[in-house]
Every structure is written in C-alpha cells, then in structure tokens.
Amino acid sequence: MRRTDKKIMVAAFCLALALCLSGCSSQETPAQPNAAAGFAPELDTKTVGSINVVGHYNNFEALEEEFNRFNQYYPEVKLSYTYLDNYSGILETALNSADAPDIYFVYPSMSGRENGEGVYASAENLADPSLRIGLDCIRESLLYKGQSGSVYSVPVYTTTYGMLVNEAIFEKEKLSVPKTYEELMTVCEALKKAGYESPVMSFNQNSFLLLPLYYPYFCAQLQASPDALREVNAMTPAAADTVRPILEQAEDFMKRGLISLENCNQLENDYNAVIMRFFEGDVPMMLATANTVSGTEKRESQSEAFTAHPFRYSFHPVPSTKDGGYFVNSISMGFAVNKNSKNLAITNEFMRFLVSSEELNRMARAKRMVTPCKDMALDEVYASFGSLSSDRIINLSELELSSAADWQVRKAVWQVCNGGMTVDEAIAAFGTIE
Amino acid sequence: MKKSLMILGNVLIVLLILTFLTFYTSSEHRRLLASQTEAFENMTVAMENVTTNYLLGEQQVCRSWANYINASHMTAQEAIDFVGASVTAPEIMAHILFTDRAELSGISTVPKAGSDGDFAVSYANINIFSGGFEELLGKESTVNVTRAYTNPTNAIQSIAFCSPITLLETPEGPSREAVLLRIIPVASFEQRWTFPTEDYRSAEVSLIDLEGNYIIHGHSFKNTNFYEFYQSYNHAGRAHMEEVKQSVSGRPGTLVLSNAQGQQCLAAHTRVNSTDHWILVTMIPMSQLGRTAMDWILIVIISVGLLALLAFNIMWLVRLNRQLKAAAAEAERANQAKTDFLSTMSHDIRTPMNAIIGLTAIAEKNVEDSRTVRESLHKISLAGSHLLTLINDILDISKVESGKLSLSPVTFSIVECAENLINLSQPMVREKNIDFNFRVNRFEHEYLYADQLRINQIFINLLSNALKYTEPGGRVSVDLREETGDSDSTVRLIYRVADTGIGMTPEFMAKMYQPFSRQTDSRVNTIQGTGLGLAITWQMIDLMHGSIDCQSELGKGTVFTVTLCLPLADKPAEEMKLDPIRVLIADDDEVLLTTAKDTLLSLGAQADTALSGAEAVRMASGGETYQVVILDWKMPDMDGIEVARKIRESVGSQVPILLISAYDWSDLEEAAKDAGISGFISKPLFRSTLYEKLSEALGKAKNNANQEDDKSDIAGMRILVAEDNDINWEIISMLLSMHGITAERAENGQLAVDRMTHAEKGDFDLIFMDIQMPVMNGLDAARAIRALPDPWAAGIPIIAMTADAFSENVAECIAAGMNGHIAKPIDMKLVLKEIRRIREEQKK
C-alpha cells in the first residue's frame, strides 16, 4: 500500500472517529425559538416566575401550545391554566384571593369593561404605551376602549353564527350548498324528499332554535337603520316593523317542516351533543356557532359513526336573504391581566408575546375559532366566510343592541318556533316575554 | 474473488451486525421496558396506598368532627365555630352546607376572599357531588370525598371530605340535616404524590371516578373525562373503549396511549381502596421509560459508522481494483513486450548460434582445408561477438529495470575511447561502404574521470544504430568535442552522431527510450537488434546527469546529440613537444585541416595545409621542405595513395608520409606501402595521436605496436585456476599456455584453499577464481585464502573469473578480498591486461 493511500485511510478513520465522538456528546443542542418572528424578549430570558391563567374552558390546549412557545424564550417561567367551577360567579373571589390569577378570561357579558368596573376593576390597562402590547393587530371594532382610551381586555377568540354542512350528503344528493334563502328552501325540500326527516337541525334551548338563521339578518336590519335599532332597544310597538319579518320567516320555516323539533329537542347541549349528533352523518345542516365548531375536530375520533364513515364538513353563513347570509362577528372570549398580579412584569411580557397576528391566529387555528386579528386568517372550515363582502360583515359590539331587547327577540322567535305563540302574539308581547 | 462478491460479503456482514444490534437492543429494550412498566405499576399501587391512607386519615378527622357535632347538638354557628377552632392547618377550612336547601348554601370557617367578613357560602353552580348526596353520604365505611372543585370561598382548587351532620336551627329549635365539608387544597393533596425517583419526573397523576370523570386532574390529562381523553387522541372504537373501561376499573394494570402531543405514554391504574368509585391513574411518556434502555443515538451512530465504513471500504476496494486492473494491464503489456522480446531474442540468439554450430560443422568437415577453417573460425568469432553483445544488453536492461545500474568511475583516455569507437565501427563502415566521418574539435583534455565502460556503451550504441540503419553508400558523421564545463574541474563532452539513414516516425520517437521498443518497419525487421540499446543509453545518460537530444525525419536521417558533464582526471597531461618540424597535411575537410593545424602548432610543429591531393603534390614538390607529409586517404580528386606515390616521386623515400583514415587500413595496407606510405593515422586526429604517430615516424618514440605480442613479461608465470567446468578450464589453460603461462587447476574452492595452504612461496603468481563452484564457492574460498597464516599465501592476488557479471557481483568479489574481476566469456586481451596489471603491482 502506498504512503498516500495509508494517509487517506488514516484521515478517513480519524474523521469517522471524530464524527462518532461528536455524536456521543451528551450535551443537547438548545431549542431554537421559532415562535413569533417579530417578538424580541425585553426581560432577562433567565427570569424565574409563574403565570396562571384561569378560565372556564375545561382544557385549553391552544393556550398550552403558546405556553410552550413562550418557554422557548423564557424557559424558567412556569405557565399554567386552571379551570374554575362557576367561573362567572367565582372570578371576583379568585381575583381577591391570595392565589389570584395573573390572567383571566373575560366575556362580553361581563359588565364594566369600558370603565374598569366589576371584574375589570382588577384589570390592567393594556393600552398603556409603556407595555408596548401590539393591540393594533386586532380589529378595531373588537377592542372596547374606555373614554381615556384604556383597554382592559384583549379579545382572543371571536365567534359567529352559521350552519355546519355535511358535504357528503350534498355530494350524494347532487346538491350545492345554498347561497340564498330561496336556494336554502329548495335544497331543504329536495333533502326532505330524499328522506332526510330534518334537513336542518338546531339546539332548542336558551332560545337558540333558528338563531343562526334569523339573527344575522335581524342585526343587519338594525345596523342599516339606527331608528329601528332605537325602537328595538326601547322595545316600543314600533319595533314590530323590524321584528315581524324575522318572526314570519321563522314561522314559515317551521311550517314547511324543514326542521324536526322532536329531533332538536334531543340535543342536550349546544356543544358536545350538537357535534356528536352532527357526526352521526344523517344531518345535512346543523345550525351552530363558531364556539360549537371549535369542538368538532377533537370529537371526530370520539364519534364512532364518524370514525366508521368520516365525511367532509364545513361551516357556512346561513343564507337568510335573497342576497345570502351575514358574518356576525362577536367576541367569544378575551384575556384580562390582573393588575395586582405578583408576576406582573413577566405576565405583561407574555401578553406582549401573545398579542400578535401570528400567535392569535395560531391559537384560533388550534381551537378552530375565529381570529380577532385584522388579517382574518381563517381555518379552512370557515372558508366560505372569507368570501363574504365587507357590507355583509356585522360587528355585534358596534351595533349597541341592548341585552334586554336582544333576549326579547330571541324569546319571541323561540316561542313562535315552538308553537308557544303566534307571530301576532309575539309582537304584542314583545318586551314582556318571560 | 470477484469485486461484487466481496462487496456483497461486506454488505452482508454490516447488515448482520446491524440486524444483531437492532435485535439485541430491541430485546433489551423490551425486557427493560417490561421491567420498568412493572416498576411503574408497582409505584402506582404504592401511591394508591399512600392515597388511601391519606384519604382515610382525612376522612376520619372529618368524621370525628361530625360525630362530635352530632353528639353535642350544636347549631350551625356553634358547629362552624367548633370546626374553625379545630382546624390546625391554615390551608384547610370547613364548610357546612344545608342539604334541605336546593341551592346548597351554608357557612364557612373563613370569610370569602375579598369580602368584609362574609362567611356565607353557596355551591349552587358547582356540581361537586356527581352521585348525589345520598349516595355519597350513605356509606359509612368508605371515604366520602368530592371531586376537585373550585372552593367558592377562596377560588382554590380543592377536594372536600364529607360527613353528614345534624344541627339545631336554634339552640332549642328543631334539627336540620347538613353536610360537613373538610376542604383541603388539591395542591396539598398532590404533595403526597411524590414520585420516588427522578426517572418519573415527567409522570403525572389523576384521580378519576368509575365513569372516567376527573376527581383530580393531572396537567397532561385532557378533556373532562379520562375516557374521552383516551378516545380523543387514540381513535378508539366503542368496543375498544369498553375494553379500556373494563381494564381501568378492574385490577391494577397498565395501558399504552397517545397523549395530546401525540407522545406514546404508559398509564398505570389501580382502584383506590378507600373509596369504591375512585381510580388512581398515573401517566408517563414512554420515552422517559425507554431512555435508559435504548440508546438510539448510539445505535444510529454505530449504524452510520458501519455504513460509512462499508462505503469507505467499497470505495477503497473499487479504487484498489482499478489500480490492480491498471497494474494487471501494465503487467500484461510488459508480459507481452517480454514475450515479443523473447521471441525476438529467440530469433536473434538462434541466428548467431546457427552460424556458430553450422560453421563449426563446416570446419570439422574441412579440417584439412586451412583456409576454410580460418574463414569459419573468423565467422564463428563474429557470431560469438554478436551473441555476447546481445547477452550484455539483456544484462544491462535487467540492471536498468531493477534500478541497480550504477557507475564505476575510472580515469580513462577519451582518445582511446574514440579509437576504440572507430575500430569497432570499421567492419560495418567497410561492409556497407558508408561515408564515415569522425571529427574532433578543440579537444584539450585527454583524461577524464568517469565510467568509461558506460560512456563507451553510449557512444557505441548510438554509432552502431546509425551505421545499422543507414543504407549502404549513406553517410554517418560523428562529432566529438569538448566545451568548458560548469567548473574548472569538469568539461562538457558533446557527442553528436548524424546519419542519412531511415529516420524515425514521431510516434516511435515518443517511446524510443522504452525497453523492447523497435520501430515497425520492413527495413528495420531485417536488421539485428534487441530494442534495448536506446533504453540502456537513455538510462546511462540519465545516471550521469547528462542529456540526449534527437532530431529525426523519416527517410532522411537522424541526429543524436549527447551532452555529458564529466570531471577531469587528476592524471597530468603528458608533456608532448615535437622538434620544430614542418608538416604538410592534405584533406578535403577544411574543419579537419584547421583543427589539425592548430594541434600541430600546439605540438611545436609548423603546418601547411592542402585541400586536395593535387595541391598537396604541388606543395610537396615546391620549394618547401616538409619533414612529414600527412594525407587523407579519400579525397575527391585523387586518393591518398595516389597522392603519396606522386609526392614520393619528388621528395624521395626519406620523408615519412602518413595516411589519415577513419577506415580500417588492413585492406589497403599493401597498396599503401607500395606507394611509399610510411604509416597510418586514424581519425580523429587527437593531439596525442598526432604526437605519437609523428614521433614514431620521426623515430622519436618507441613503437608499442607489438607490445601485445611481446609475451616475455608474463611468460613463465604460474597461475592457480579454480574452475569446476572442464571446458572452461581447458579454454583458459590453453589460452594461458599460448602466452607461456603455466596453469594449475583446482576443481572447487576448497581444493584451491587446500592447495594454497600447502603451497610454497612462489608456487603461484596469482589465482583465477570461479565463483559458482561445488563444495566451496569462490567468495568463501577467497575469504579462506585471505585468512591463511602464511602471509605470502594470504596476500596472493586473486582475480575473479566468473559469468556473474553484474556490478554487485564485482563488489562482492572485492569485498571478499579479491583484486579484480574478469567476466566470462573471457576476452584474452583483458585477461592479459589484468595479468600485466598484477605483474606491475607486484614489481612495485
């Protein structure tokens, strides 16, 4: 063997040995943060602390993913999420307790957000410029600002009304997803003829029945007419002009026999029961909210019927007019920061990390909710909402429909649908319906 | 072995190792995993014991409080005051709930957080009793504990131990039913669940009820129900879920499941003995369990290493194969060349051998016809010489190929060298009637220090090639000149041979220095040659750090130019001075005339030159008196003999006339003498040659011409010849006896040693020693003789006479104590020269 050859062999073995030895190294390469490309830590990344988020979700895996991503920057910070029983009832107690949470869920129904009262009394003003939280990534209409420009909560998820469509049935019956009210009627009739007892189903408690059908249209009427809105809020007889059409529409829908009350009454709740029933595979259209849609993916594997015969499904606006449906957007849940938090600095850092299009969109996708961000990155199940023109998008928070009037409308429709009242009776009783 | 077979073998071995490694580690992994699974299950059971003891203890405290309250007939306030006073740990509190109220309200031992002394408590919106109060409280023997819930007093996740109590509405009033809750934060409870080893640091614990609802919810246990959690992330059907439920609610055991992150986890479960509806479930990622058992990184590294080794080996093998193939092809080529060479040799050897054998037969048949015998012997001699040249060439190329060609520098005369060259070339020049010119220009130094033998070989090879490959009637010119060397002690010797021969093609010129190369040409094939001459020449020139240049054109001729830088010998130039004589020199070669005139002037003579025979006649017949006339033999108008005859007519017989010729003059000697030629001078006209011949012509120097024939100096010598071969002995003894030398034979080395051991001083003058002999070889014999006690015997000159003719053989002989070396077949001239050398040394 020539000397050159020997040198080559020795060099090759040395290289192999070096590779092996480097491979044997026990030191692990630190994880490279891939979160939030625009985020740069402002605190010492070795900061030790804890952040506790409380809410009413039994689990919050989307948030836990964000915890993991935040830990890539701050590995010594322990983040946790705690479910609280009777959340609305106990939140103030929790905020006053020794183990007060650092971040807590807030909902539009919780009063005082404009003025920092009630549960918001403990909330930090997230619009404080010193916090440098990127609120500008959120749709303006979803940020409740006080007179001084203060913002006490950040919307995390928003919701809307619509219908879950079993695409397999539509394909089987050679039907298209309806885009107008007339098409909806035609499709329902066709499905009825094809043997579907209840082409449309809906949860029938808490005045929800047909809510996704009429409510967006009702809101659109109010948005278009401030006078009508004023009258409805005042629940005067003049509001009848606005309320009657939706009552008649609901009555008409029921009379056509396109929805089986008996079937709907079997749905125990508007979440798990609705989803599992839809996954049975024999419901062409299930009226629901985005909150319900958020639970679909996880329950696919829980449904034996769906596992045995999976099908494609999607969420669409309910075409309540001849021009189609609406995208009624409202806050589903938001975060408020406890200003008395023992870990306020790192909590604010977490909020600075979280409030960005990238992270909030990621959370929305993880839970199949609608993002509050301006760029509206929707999950594919919501694809049809993305094609709606801007004049068909209604921000419920801007509408200023009073809660009382809102509930009167819902109750009126529910009574009509369930045969408790006629349209006239409901109009007459509007404002006083129990 | 075929390459593919070898690679396949390598691949199989590597695969075998990897398979074994994988199987072995997998088996180890399974074994250790099973062991760790069992350990984890046991740990879960142990944890259940801890849990049971803890629950029983806490339940007992709660029950004691209840018993005391019941026995003491307390009002609600008295009871809560009692319990409040009994609580020792700050994190523990108690609630009393009135079961007769639908909204499940009551009072607490501590006020609601953030309130100003509000002790009221409500469980209206908290479903902590999934089975209902009746079921929970109806079992005295078990632990009555709630699921983990949010304590409405302080919003801390807690569990509560329950005991029914009976209270008085007023101190005197009716009694009412209530439940006493001893509330403990889950965090305090969880502190009891300390995993015993660091290996389980990722393990988590949950408590579930028989339906799978979480009582205490571990972080990684998702959903609100364990079975829902299982189903969500493991895509289990109804039947499978039933199996899971049966398994979990049955005996202690384990199951493997995917968690929310898709990790494979091991879950161990065991019923909590202190309750009849709780199950303790622990869960740990499998990667945590398998980590110590299976070092995948190591396996991957070994696999990659082996594969890299395999790839490296294959590459190496392929490379080696390629080299071997190239070497085999080279060997094949060499082998083919040698086969061709042997074929040629066979022909070349058989040809002279045929002549030798045939002519010997002719001589035998005509032994009475002396002329035929003489002619046959002459031709046999020529054939023998050719055979010897052939053998020498083969030996030389053998040395070249083995890299053992070495130089043996000696002091030699370039004049002798040139003379020798001319002598050797004469037969062929004459035979082919070649116009042969040998010119020497500006030659100042006669003696040089170099390997004379090799220089001769170079010169002869090139010249003989020129003569061989020049058609009859062609022209061959040799120029030998001296130039200033790199230093004062060296000269640059330039040897140029030009011919008008067949020339060479550029293709052949590119490989002409390779051994066994001969140009493919019908004309060449008829010419004897080994194809080794140029290869040997090139090697020798290279060895002497010289250069060789070749210009050739097919059909027009070839010019070889050799340049050698050689050291001057220490031998001083002989003082050469002639009397102030006048010399006439005639030649048609102007260059020769110029150089000859210069040389004669340097010798002290005055020279006149004539460019033709007629001019020489005229000048000699003129007024000038020349002491010597030198004439070229071949001049265009008149040859030298004719010129001499005419000059002799006018100058008489006293003036010596010398004839210059590069040719052998034996054939013209008679005619020359008849024409009055006094002697011959061979070209080239070296200074020493001219001095010697002119001195001789003028009667100044002794005539050594017949010295070789003078045997008086060596006659009577006695030589011991150690020779085992009878014929060789016969030849040498005969040849020596022809020179009056007595030879005595020893058949082997031992006999030679014995003979010398007993010899008297003067018995022998020297020993000729063969090397390869039976009993004792020549080298050992020489060493033995040198070791003899008698100084005369030990110092006797020993000359090796052997067919071992390589330089290393010569060196071996000298190392063994010998004084010289003569190669067989013996050249008698060399033998005599060697004998005389020894003789001279003995005289000194």
pLDDT at position A69 is 92
CA-nearest residue of chain B to A56?
A: B150
Distance CA A326, CA B815 (A): 118
Question: Which chain B residues are within 8 Å of A85, Cβ to Cβ?
Answer: 125-128, 149-150
Q: Region B769-786: what's the mean pLDDT?
A: 92
Question: Which chain A residues are within 8 Å of B217, Cβ to Cβ?
Answer: 83
* Structural domains in chain B, sorted by start: 34-190 (3.30.450.20), 198-290 (3.30.450.20), 296-396 (1.10.287), 405-477+493-566 (3.30.565.10), 582-702 (3.40.50.2300), 718-843 (3.40.50.2300)
Work out how many CB contacts closer than 8 A connect A with B. Answer: 92
Check the CA dihedral A18-A23-A29-A32 and report its sign: positive
Cβ of A28 under 8 Å from any chain B Cβ?
no
Question: What is the DSSP code string of B385-436?
Answer: HHHHHHHHHHHHHHHHHHT------EEEEHHHHHHHHHHHHHHHHHHHT-EE
Total Cβ atoms within 10 A of residue A322: 10
Residue B281 in contact with residue B248, Cβ under 8 Å? yes
Tokens (6 digits) for B188: 């305090």
Coil, helix or strand at residue B475: strand
ω before B825 within 30° of 0 (cis)? yes
Report the first-to-last Cα separation within chain B, whole angstroms: 70
pLDDT tens for each residue of B226-243: 988 888 788 787 788 889
Residue A163 in contact with residue A212, Cβ under 8 Å? yes
Beta-bridged to residue B98, according to DSSP, are: B178
Distance CA B831, CA B829 (A): 5
ipTM for the whole complex: 0.79
Of A20, A85, A308, the CB nearest to B305: A20
Contact (CB<8Å) B155/A93: yes
Closest residue by Cα to residue B602 from B576, B630, B565: B576
Distance CA A131, CA A171 (A): 52
pLDDT at position A389 is 87
The values of phi and psi at residue A88, to 5°, are: -60, -35
What angle do the packed helices B778-786 and B749-758 form, to 10 degrees? 20
ω before B684 within 30° of 0 (cis)? yes
Coil, helix or strand at residue B310: helix
Q: State yes or no: pLDDT of B574 exceeds 90.
A: no
Distance CA B331, CA B337 (A): 9
Contact (CB<8Å) A85/B316: no
Give kind and range of the element (H or E) at residue B184.
strand B175-185
pLDDT of chain A, 434 residues: tens digit per residue: 444 554 544 455 444 444 444 433 333 333 434 444 579 999 999 999 999 999 998 888 899 889 989 999 999 999 999 999 989 889 999 999 888 999 999 988 887 776 667 888 899 999 999 999 999 999 888 888 877 889 999 999 999 999 999 999 999 999 999 999 999 999 999 999 999 999 999 999 888 899 999 999 999 999 999 999 999 999 988 888 899 999 999 999 999 999 999 999 999 998 999 999 999 999 999 999 999 999 998 888 888 899 889 999 999 999 999 999 999 999 999 999 999 999 999 999 999 999 999 999 999 998 999 999 988 778 888 888 888 888 899 988 888 888 899 999 999 999 999 999 999 999 999 988 88
Q: What is the DSSP letter of B223?
A: S
Of B152, B235, B260, the CB nearest to A86: B152
Question: What is the DSSP code string of B25-38?
Answer: HHHHHHHHHHHHHH
Residue A346 in contact with residue A77, Cβ under 8 Å? yes
The residues near B17 (Cβ < 8 Å, ≥ 6 apart) are B306
Residue B584 in contact with residue B624, Cβ under 8 Å? yes
pLDDT at position A372 is 92
Most B-contacting residue of A13, A61, A68, A93 (CB-CB within 10 A), to test interface: A93
Q: What is the DSSP letter of A394?
A: E
Beta-bridged to residue B482, according to DSSP, are: B493
Most A-contacting residue of B110, B153, B154, B204 (CB-CB within 10 A), to test interface: B154
pTM of the entire predicted model: 0.55
Question: Which chain A residues are within 8 Å of B305, Cβ to Cβ?
Answer: 16, 19-20
Question: Which chain A residues are within 8 Å of B316, Cβ to Cβ?
Answer: 9
Radius of gyration of the CA atoms of chain B, in A: 61
Q: What are the start-end ranges of the E strands in B419-537? A: 435-441, 447-450, 475-484, 490-499
Residue A173 burial (10 A CB sphere; 0-12, 13-18, 19+): middle
Mean pLDDT score of chain B, rounded to an integer?
83
* Better-predicted residue by pLDDT, A407 or B666: A407
Cβ of A10 under 8 Å from any chain B Cβ?
no
Instruction: Return left, alpha or beta for B601; rule: phi > 0 is left, psi -120 to 50 is alpha, else beta.
Output: alpha
Question: Which chain B residues are within 8 Å of A295, Cβ to Cβ?
Answer: none
Coil, helix or strand at residue A284: coil
Question: Which chain A residues are within 8 Å of B304, Cβ to Cβ?
Answer: 19, 23
Closest residue by Cα to residue A370 from A117, A159, A57: A159
Beta-bridged to residue A105, according to DSSP, are: A335
Closest residue by Cα to residue B548 from B558, B529, B557: B558
Tokens (6 digits) for B419: 């003379």
- What percent of chain B has pLDDT above 70? 89
Question: Which chain A residues are within 8 Å of B155, Cβ to Cβ?
Answer: 54, 84, 90-91, 93-94, 97, 99
Question: Which chain A residues are within 8 Å of B154, Cβ to Cβ?
Answer: 93, 97-99
Coil, helix or strand at residue A145: strand
Closest residue by Cα to residue B33 from B222, B236, B254: B254
Tokens (6 digits) for B298: 């190591």
Calculate ∠ Cα B533-B538-B541, nearest 5°.
125
Total Cβ atoms within 10 A of residue B734: 10
Contact (CB<8Å) A93/B305: no
Question: Which chain B residues are within 8 Å of A24, Cβ to Cβ?
Answer: 297-298, 301
Of A16, A85, A93, the CB nearest to B149: A85
Distance CA B27, CA B23 (A): 6
Residue A178 in contact with residue A319, Cβ under 8 Å? yes
Coil, helix or strand at residue B717: coil
Contact (CB<8Å) A307/B308: no
Distance CA B292, CA B288 (A): 8
Output the CA–CA distances (angstroms, integers) from residue A366 to A61, A97, A154, in the order listed.
Answer: 8, 32, 18
pLDDT band at B169 (very low <50, low <70, confident <90, very high): confident
* Structural domains in chain A, sorted by start: 49-158+331-382 (3.40.190.10), 161-329+383-429 (3.40.190.10)
Contact (CB<8Å) A307/B112: no
pLDDT at position B438 is 83
Distance CA B156, CA B110 (A): 13
pLDDT at position B510 is 85
Coil, helix or strand at residue B553: strand
The values of phi and psi at residue B505, to 5°, are: -85, 155
Residue B263 in contact with residue B287, Cβ under 8 Å? yes
CA-nearest residue of chain A to B225?
A: A58
CA-nearest residue of chain B to A298?
A: B232
Q: How far is residue A228 CA from its own chain's centroid?
A: 29
Give kind and range of the element (H or E) at residue B216.
strand B214-216
pLDDT tens for each residue of B215-227: 888 878 887 789 8
Calculate ∠ Cα B267-B270-B274, nearest 5°.
145
Q: What are the start-end ranges of the E strands in B131-174? A: 149-150, 157-168
User: Quick one: how many helices (H) and strands (E) in chain A?
Assistant: 19, 10
Residue B735 in contact with residue B831, Cβ under 8 Å? yes
pLDDT tens for each residue of B482-516: 888 888 888 999 999 999 988 888 888 888 887 66
Output the CA–CA distances (angstroms, integers) from residue B741 to B733, B756, B840, in the order listed.
Answer: 8, 18, 16
* Better-predicted residue by pLDDT, B613 or A116: B613
- Please tell me the distance in Å from B60's CA to the nearest CA on chain A: 27
Closest residue by Cα to residue B716 from B742, B696, B749: B742
Q: What are the start-end ranges of the E strands in B241-277? A: 253-258, 264-271
Q: State yes or no: pLDDT of B683 exceeds 90.
A: no
User: Amino acid letter at B574?
Assistant: E
User: Amino acid letter at B603?
Assistant: L
Of A84, A99, A307, the CB nearest to B235: A307
Contact (CB<8Å) B312/A85: no
Residue B812 in contact with residue B779, Cβ under 8 Å? yes
3-state secondary structure A92-136: HHHHHCCCCCCEEEECCCCCCCCCCCHHHHHECCCCCHHHCCCHH
- What percent of chain B has pLDDT above 90? 19
Interface of B with A (CB under 8 A): 112-115, 124-128, 149-150, 152-157, 217, 219, 222-224, 228, 231-238, 260, 297-298, 300-301, 304-305, 308-309, 312, 316
Q: How far is residue B78 CA from its own chain's centroid?
A: 104
Of A24, A86, A301, the CB nearest to B301: A24
Q: State yes or no: pLDDT of B158 exceeds 70.
A: yes
Distance CA A178, CA A260 (A): 20
Coil, helix or strand at residue A149: coil
Closest residue by Cα to residue B464 from B563, B554, B545, B392: B392
Beta-bridged to residue A327, according to DSSP, are: A393
The residues near B540 (Cβ < 8 Å, ≥ 6 apart) are B405, B454, B457, B458
